[in-house]
Structure 1
Amino acid sequence: MSSAEKALHRAESKKSASVLDAADVAILESEDALTPEERRAERNFVWRLDAVFITVAWLSYVFKYLDQTNISNAYVSGMKEEIHIVGNQYNYFTTLFNAGYIVMLYPSCILISHVGPSVWLPGCELVWGVLTCTLSLAQSYRTVYGLRFLIGLAEGSAWPGYITLISQWYLPHEVAFRMALFNCAQPVGAMLSGALQGALSTHLEDVLGRSGWRWAFIVNGVMTIAVALVAFVALPGYPERPNPLAKWYLGPREIKIAQARNARVHRSPQRGITGKSFLRALTFWPLWLIAIAWSWGSNTTPANYYNLWLKSLKLPDGHARYSVAMLNYLPIIGQALQLVTQLLLTFASDLTGKRLPWLLVHSAINLTSQVILVIRPADRHAYMAGWYLNYCGAASTMLLAAWGSGYLQDEPEVRTILFATGTVFSYIQNAFLPIAAFPASEAPNWRIGAKVYLGAMAFSTVLFIIISFLFRRVDKIREEQAKRGEKDEDSRSLRFWVY
């Protein structure tokens, strides 16, 4: 009997068992169904995925995030003065990027389900790498507007695409930490952006007649193009539709292991999304509640304005307190804290099989940071602590994505559209709310600012608790069905009409 057949037989024999958290179920079944030899083969398989797939995905997202955020570093490194940026034009750079990103999210989810991730994701990455290089030629804010929109359009494929791949290759008790490893590319990309811009502003200023911030866009774009070329032969595709160019590390044996693991947790194959399946996905309440909770719950938008506050600080003699290089280097501390916090909270969540307690830890950090930013203590270092704590509050997205994924094993279309919807809500919020809360013209004394995000964090904390209550009710419904020998037909327990 093959490993997949054993897993399916084991699942059928346990229909009357109590329904536990999705992560717990996956752990119990993997321990019971596998022989020692199969466990060793799985560990080797997971190691291969981590070493190649996660590494390439991580590098892709590092440079994606670097290409997304380098506009902030360029702004404080001479771009503002050179192309004469005034008023809220800087805010519109972010707004237009977010608008392009939002426009692409749902079309990308549909296209990638048909074309395949090993073609679509690297192809889009090539496009935004070239466009990032082109930013170095900008002579006016209008050029930046157009390029930022197009870069956002191409980058809209990345996050939902990679998160969907992770949710399709890893088991529920492995997925949150891998999502966090991937998402840690955000702070790493931001750190690289600051460090790179700081170095280029110092060492490449006026080389070949170009400003340091222009060289940063060129270097960023070239690195993105290089990683995209590697991704064509490294991304695994879907377990049921593997990438033939990735056979060098995922051969027929590894593909069989992947398919057996998916069968063990009742995970359905990734299917092409149609109009009908798209509309059906919108009837699932986890899609809406989780998407809303993560769009408000990360609560880290204020951190993006940290270097604007730093730029405003003056010495008693009127000179700037921090050099251009330091304006780029100081936020790296916060980005490092963000990386460590994400890894610790998601690792603890996977280890314990619980999501809510670690989401509440995340909430406590965020609420504290926003209170400090609202109070604005006179002591500069105390105020800086509030900014740095704000960087730590980015773990909720990974925890919520893993939580929803665990309950949607047999609903691949809903999983994919959930990841896109959460991203849509986040980018809609980030496209418009910062303009009202943190207008560049009010820097560094924003009137609304952190007050809005303090309220948002309180709201998302309530949502975390509501989601936990509803998932517990799903567990209870499914347990009662299992006792009667029934199944959760058409995922009724996760759809609106049950409640």
Structure 2
Amino acid sequence: MLIPSQIILTYVRPSYWLPGLEIVWGVLTGLIAMCSNAKQVYVLRVFLGLCESSAWPGMMTLFMYWYTPTELAKRMGFYHSCQAVGQMLSGAMQAAISDTLNEHAGLAGWRWLFVINAIITVIWGFAGFFMIPDLPNRPNPRAFWFKKVHGEISLERLARNGRAEPKRMTWAGVKRTFSGWVVYFISILYIATVLGTYGYVYFSLFLKSLKNPDGSARWSVTQVNAIPIGGSAINVVFVWIWALLSDVLETRWTLIVLQAVIGIIPCIIMSAWTANPASVALSAAYASYFISYICLGTAPLIFAWLSDLIPQDPEARSLAVGVAVAGYYSISAWSQVLVWPASQAPYYKYGWQSALALLVLVIIMTSILRFVDVRYLLPKREQFRAVIEDDIAATKANSSAIPTLPDDDTERDGGSSKVTHTARVNEVHGNC
């Protein structure tokens, strides 16, 4: 569903498609509260996944249509950080609902959790019909806050920064994308970064496994749920920091490498701790989990970098985001069970070691991509920007000149110019 959703977004207004998926997701979430057996939950979860998986890549793609290189990572980072904020709020909301609404109106506390979640989701889903601006060259007519000049300014900004306007997906664009290398390279890089920084997910299992000398649990259930909230707060702060630095310093690759280097530190410590807990101080293990929250800001930087790499090809950008996220979901569905089995928690035999290997791969791939970018992709971007600048200059010259030809001749000349411009743009696209 994820890759088709990326294609659908180029034909159906995002202000219809994304909120529509959100509303369906909310309704399905509410239906879980009515389930009487596990099979019903499994069925609903399948459809929930279909709706949910399209939201994040869809919004990332939408940001690429509006923001310039010095703005994009901040917007992506802020949106990305909402996942961690949601985790923090959901934990607090779960505790509050369990304490206050359990058995209210005959519903168990966990059922109320899904009901309230559904209500919130549906309300914000309907708000999306009016708040999502759609595309700069095809703005949302229901967005009462949006003015025509906003779209015009955005198109001018895109042209100034050498970015092509959004357009509908074509078969030629699909073939061009999948016959090139960028989509595969970015997908592998994204998957490696996410899987390589996955250890933080098991912080709660680590806390739950710790025992006092008398065999009692070191942390209560409430504490096990509360302590990782501090990690989520670290995640939010550093996602913002990485994204802000990326835009201010106008660099992506250095901060991706830096996060990978930081991520290697807990991998080394926890690899030693899981092999021989007595050889590593328990405080170092605690620190490792909290450090792992620092390096969770790679995704916004990777996709902001993708937008920088091929600004002339919106079709390839959209598909690359979809393929990368779909690839992660398809691989993590089975790999995490093998690498991080619950039966081994928290002494994973291969979890931290595999994460270490993936982060080393991230450093290598990021360095290679930087070299290829400077050597091969940058000249194409400069050529495309020259095409846009020539087109803008020609348009200004034509608008200021006194017409000397009949209307039909002018139309023929304009059509020829448009064909020539399109041919030049297609030539610049090449086979990325």
Of 311, 326, 338, which residue of structure 2 is paired with 1:424? Answer: 326
Once residues 177 and 272 of structure 1 are traced to their aligned partners in structure 2, the CA distance between those partners, rounded to angstroms, is 26
Report how far residue 433 of structure 1 moved.
1.0
Letter aligned with residue 180 of structure 1: G
Letter aligned with residue 333 of structure 1: G
Letter aligned with residue 269 of structure 1: E
Greater Cα shift, 261-270 or 235-244: 261-270
CA contact (8 A) 2:312 2:381 kept: no
Of 251, 266, 269, which residue of structure 1 is paired with 2:147? Answer: 251
> Are 1:311 and 2:208 an aligned pair?
yes
Report how far residue 436 of structure 1 moved.
0.2
Over 3 Å counting, the alpha-carbon distance change for 1:201 and 1:481 in structure 2 is: closer
CA contact (8 A) 2:177 2:431 kept: no
State how 1:436-475 maps to structure 2 within 5 Å: 436-474=338-376
Letter aligned with residue 256 of structure 1: E
Once residues 311 and 217 of structure 1 are traced to their aligned partners in structure 2, the CA distance between those partners, rounded to angstroms, is 25
1:77 — aligned with what? Answer: none
Report how far residue 494 of structure 1 moved.
5.9
- RMSD over aligned CA atoms reads 2.4
Report how far residue 478 of structure 1 moved.
4.3
2:402 — aligned with what? Answer: none
> Are 1:147 and 2:44 an aligned pair?
yes
State how 1:83-482 maps to structure 2 within 5 Å: 104-246=1-143, 248-298=144-194, 299-376=196-273, 377=277, 378-474=280-376, 477-478=379-380
- Number of residue pairs aligned between Structure 1 and Structure 2: 391
2:412 — aligned with what? Answer: none
Greater Cα shift, 358-367 or 294-303: 294-303
2:418 — aligned with what? Answer: none
CA contact (8 A) 2:383 2:428 kept: no
Over 3 Å counting, the alpha-carbon distance change for 1:214 and 1:340 in structure 2 is: same
Once residues 488 and 234 of structure 1 are traced to their aligned partners in structure 2, the CA distance between those partners, rounded to angstroms, is 33
Over 3 Å counting, the alpha-carbon distance change for 1:468 and 1:461 in structure 2 is: same
Once residues 450 and 140 of structure 1 are traced to their aligned partners in structure 2, the CA distance between those partners, rounded to angstroms, is 36
SS at match of 2:10: helix
Q: Deviations over 1:250-306 (max 9, x none)?
A: 111212111211222232222221333222211332222112111111333222222
Over 3 Å counting, the alpha-carbon distance change for 1:368 and 1:379 in structure 2 is: same
CA contact (8 A) 1:297 1:461 kept: no
SS at match of 1:172: coil
Once residues 355 and 336 of structure 1 are traced to their aligned partners in structure 2, the CA distance between those partners, rounded to angstroms, is 23
Report how far residue 316 of structure 1 moved.
3.8
CA contact (8 A) 1:201 1:325 kept: no
Of 477, 490, 496, which residue of structure 1 is paired with 2:427? Answer: 490
CA contact (8 A) 2:162 2:381 kept: no
Over 3 Å counting, the alpha-carbon distance change for 1:346 and 1:309 in structure 2 is: same
Letter aligned with residue 56 of structure 2: W
Report how far residue 413 of structure 1 moved.
0.6
Report how far residue 208 of structure 1 moved.
3.7
Using the size of structure 1 for normalisation, the TM-score is: 0.73
Unaligned segments of structure 2, at least 5 residues: 391-423
Q: Deviations over 1:432-491 (max 9, x none)?
A: 111101122333332222221111111111101010010011256449969x99978534
Over 3 Å counting, the alpha-carbon distance change for 1:200 and 1:227 in structure 2 is: same
SS at match of 1:113: coil
CA contact (8 A) 2:72 2:304 kept: yes
CA contact (8 A) 2:380 2:428 kept: no
CA contact (8 A) 1:187 1:335 kept: yes
Once residues 216 and 106 of structure 2 are traced to their aligned partners in structure 1, the CA distance between those partners, rounded to angstroms, is 27
Report how far residue 418 of structure 1 moved.
1.2
CA contact (8 A) 1:198 1:328 kept: no
Once residues 136 and 428 of structure 2 are traced to their aligned partners in structure 1, the CA distance between those partners, rounded to angstroms, is 23
Once residues 149 and 291 of structure 1 are traced to their aligned partners in structure 2, the CA distance between those partners, rounded to angstroms, is 24
CA contact (8 A) 1:366 1:457 kept: yes
Letter aligned with residue 108 of structure 2: S
Letter aligned with residue 305 of structure 1: Y
Greater Cα shift, 122-131 or 436-445: 436-445
Q: Deviations over 1:214-271 (max 9, x none)?
A: 322222221111110111100001011111011x221112121112112222322222
Over 3 Å counting, the alpha-carbon distance change for 1:380 and 1:215 in structure 2 is: farther
Letter aligned with residue 186 of structure 1: Q
Report how far residue 124 of structure 1 moved.
0.2
Q: Percent identity of the aligned residues?
A: 33
Letter aligned with residue 24 of structure 2: V
CA contact (8 A) 1:195 1:328 kept: no
SS at match of 1:330: helix
